Amino acid sequence: MMAMINAMEPIVKELFEDFQHSYPVSCTCEQCRLDIQVIALNRLQPKYVTSKMGEVYIKTLLLNTQLRSDVVRELAHAADLVGKNPHHA
């Protein structure tokens, strides 16, 4: 069955893997890692595609240096916010 996906979601997930090793993320628990990705996704323009064409489209987007830098900029912004105000004690 075909579905609709936001191509930015797997892209943010993928870029976050490298990001969290190169940026001083203050807490790397599951809650904070997800919060960072959710905040970044909400600030980035979504790119909806059908699941059928999604895989190729996502690979193409990952080669786009402007898009990568936009995602990393939003991840940094989100990591700073979550670091200052984590959703846990």
Contacting positions for Zn ion (CB under 5 A) = 27, 29, 32, 86
Beta carbon of residue 26, minimum distance to Zn ion (angstroms, whole number): 8
Chain CA centroid to CA 48, Å: 15
Element (H, E) at 60: helix 51-62
Report the SS3 class of residue 47.
Answer: coil
Pick the closer one to Zn ion by CB: 19 or 54. 19
Beta carbon of residue 80, minimum distance to Zn ion (angstroms, whole number): 14
Pick the closer one to Zn ion by CB: 10 or 86. 86
Pick the closer one to Zn ion by CB: 17 or 66. 17
Beta carbon of residue 57, minimum distance to Zn ion (angstroms, whole number): 32
Place of tokens 């105000």: 85
Taking the C-alpha atoms of residue 39 and residue 81, their distance in angstroms, rounded to an integer, is 9
